[in-house]
Amino acid sequence: MQEWKEDQLQALIGGTSQEELFAKIISFGREVGFERCAYGVRAPFPISNPKIIMLNNYPLAWQQVYQEKGYLLVDPAVRHGLNSISPYVWSGFDKKSEEIPFWEDATSHGIVSGWAQPVQAPNGIRGMFTVTRSADPITDGEIRDRMPKLLWLSQVAHYGLSRHLVQRPNAARLEELTQRELEVMRWIAEGKTSSEIAMILSIAERTVNFHTTCAMTKLEAPNRTAAVVRAVLLGLIT
């Protein structure tokens, strides 16, 4: 297991593009018994209408059906991931389920059994990693034996692919946020005014406003509230 983890980490470090990294993740998925892999990530911005970005090696016909029928809104694995951090496992489907059209379409395109894991990075970016196959039900013993590798693989996939797929504010500017700017952002997040922050930090109010403006510029935010929200979502302040 340790050697297998090290191989994945080397793949993560050595991947120079999302295509190369995803190809390696697909290969790792096959090693644990699954033909197909899918990864979806919810971009943190814009907040009012976040974009969903997806990668997969599903049959093109299934990808087209999934999009045309709006299955993202009814996919049981996706719906599960919105409210839970536990894995979602399926092997066949419940004939009485309200999602019968979805499952029938999925099965007809070779998506018969699968395992989906909701994932979240420390910076707040959420995603979903899924592996599927066209035959052989998933047994309790297989889940027990392969769960550690699948959980590890889901984290590797999320950490590696989200860096390629999710647009963040200018990375160079984010790295330049000073400790004082972050400190000011934290107090703004607590609801403090500029004058209150000035008293807390024993600095002039105009200095607080200067640090606030600098942070807003680096975070590409139109106002101080938006700057704080972005800083929280990006994991810069907690």
Taking only the tens place, the pLDDT of each residue in 66-103 is 999 999 888 999 989 888 889 999 987 766 677 889 99
| CATH for 103 | 3.30.450.80
What pLDDT score does 20 carry? Answer: 85
80 in the same domain as 127: yes
203 in the same domain as 154: no
Last residue of a domain, one of 165, 186, 218: 165
* Position 149 confidence tier, pLDDT thresholds 50, 70, 90: confident
Work out whether the CA dihedral 150, 155, 161, 165 comes out positive or negative.
Answer: positive
What pLDDT score does 209 carry? Answer: 93
Place of tokens 């066949």: 92
pLDDT digits (tens, 9 = 90+) for 98-126: 788 999 999 999 999 999 999 886 666 78
Residue 32 has pLDDT above 70, yes or no: yes
194 in any annotated domain: yes
Residue 136 token pair: 């052989």
Average pLDDT, whole number, for the chain?
84
What pLDDT score does 15 carry? Answer: 55
Domain extent for 184? 171-233
Instruction: Please report how the helices 194-201 and 205-219 are oriented relative to each other, as an axis angle in degrees rounded to 10.
Output: 110
Top pLDDT among 159 and 148 is at 148
What's the structural domain count of the chain? 2
Residue 134 has pLDDT above 90, yes or no: yes
Residue 224 token pair: 């101080």
179 in the same domain as 143: no
What pLDDT score does 13 carry? Answer: 53
What pLDDT score does 10 carry? Answer: 63
140 in the same domain as 68: yes
186 in the same domain as 158: no
pTM of the model: 0.70
pLDDT digits (tens, 9 = 90+) for 170-216: 555 666 789 999 999 999 988 899 999 999 999 999 999 999 999 98
31 in the same domain as 137: yes
